[in-house]
Amino acid sequence: MMKISTQFDAGSVVVKDLSNPADIRLALRPDNASEFAQWFYFRLQGAAYQNCVMHFENAADAAYPLGWEDYQACASYDRQNWFRVPTEYENGVLTINHTPLSNSVYYAYFEPYSHEQHLNLLGDAQGSGLCRIDDLGSTVQGRDINLLTIGNQVESDMKIWIIARQHPGETMAEWFIEGLLGRLLDPQDPTARTLLDRATFYIVPNMNPDGSVLGNLRTNAAGANLNREWENPTLERSPEVFTVREKMMETGVDLFLDIHGDEGLPFVFVAGTEGVPNYNERIEALEDQFKLALLNASPDFQDDYGYDKDAPGQANMTLATNWVGNHFNCLAYTLEMPFKDNANLPDDDFGWNGQRSLRLGEAVLSAILNVLPELRP
C-alpha cells in the first residue's frame, strides 16, 4: 500500500488522492504563515517498480509559476544522492513521472540542506581551529542565529560579510556556504591563507533556520520575507535580520554577498546596487572587477542574463544588498543560482545541485581576493 509522509525536517506537501499510482493528486503547501508556495519535499513508500504519475494541481498558484517551465524535480533513495526525474508543466499542473526502483523514495523541489547538516557545518567550521561561533540571538521559534567569524579581527582587516538562505527553500545557498567554508578553512589553500592575512570573514550560513525546518519557501515563522525587512527590522517579526544588522553596525562592512536561488532563470548571476542613493563610479568599477574575476574563476557564472537593473535612486531599500551597500558605501552583491539547470553548462542527470553550488562557493573566494586591495577608497 502506498504512503506519502512529510514528518521530517523541511517536509512539505498536501496529499489529495493516493488511490492510484498512475494518478497521484497532490498540492503545494504554502509557508506556515504566508501565501508563498513552491517548496515541496516528501517521501513515497510502497510504489517500487510502479510508474508513479504525481500531479501538483495548484502549481499555477505557486509564488513563481515561471519556475516550472523546463524544470525537473529532484529525487533520492538515500537523501545523499539526488538526481532529476521527468517533470512537465502544462495547463497549470506540474506532473512528475517516475518509476521508483525501491520501496522508499524522496522527492524535493531542490536538494535539501537539513538543520542537522547546518549544525554539523557549524561544528566542522569550529573544529578547524580557525573559526569562532557567535550566538547573535534567537529566531521567532527560539532557534539559534549563529555567526561564524574567521580571521584576525584587527582594525586594518577588510570586513567581508556573507549571508545565505534568507529564503529557506533556496537550499543551494547553504551548499554554497559549505564549499566556501571548506576552502577558506583549508590551511593548505594559498587563496584562503592570503585572504585571512588581510581580511576577517563574518558568515551567516543560514539566516532563516525556522523557515528551513518548517519547509517554507520564502518566509520565517512569523511570515516575514527577510529580504524585505532590512530597512526597518523588528525583534518581534524579523529578529534574524535585526540581530545580524546590529552586528554589522558594530564591525563595519567592506564587501557584502547575499546568497540566493532563483526559481525562474536557468543561470548563475549577480544583482548589484546601481539603484541606491550612494551608488558611484567607484562601486561600479568594483562590481565590474568582481564579475570579471568570477567569470575567470568559474565557467558556471555568466553576466549576460539576470534581473533588470534598477534606475538611479529607484532601488528597493528593504533588500539586504541595497541597504548594506548604501549604508556602508561598499561593494554589495546578491548572488543567484538556479533551481533548474544551468543553461550554460547543462547536466541532464543532476541539473544544478548541491555539489555544483558548493564548487561555486569555493570559486567565489578567488573573486574576493581579486577585488580585496580595491575595496576601500
Tell me which residue has cell 585571512.
Answer: 196
Task: Write out the three cell numbers for 164.
Answer: 545565505
Per the residue annotation, which of 111, 170, 178, 336 is the catalytic one?
A: 336
Q: In the annotation, is 336 catalytic?
A: yes
- Alpha carbons 127 and 147: distance in angstroms, whole number: 15
Task: Write out the three cell numbers for 59.
Answer: 502549481
Residues 6+ apart with CB under 8 A from 246: 136
Contact criterion met (CB below 8 Å) for 298 and 362: no
Contact criterion met (CB below 8 Å) for 113 and 78: no
Residues 6+ apart with CB under 8 A from 212: 9, 10, 113, 115, 118, 165, 168, 171, 206
Residues 6+ apart with CB under 8 A from 178: 121, 205, 358, 361
Q: Residue 248's closest CA among 156, 126, 365, 163?
A: 163
Residues noted as catalytic: 336
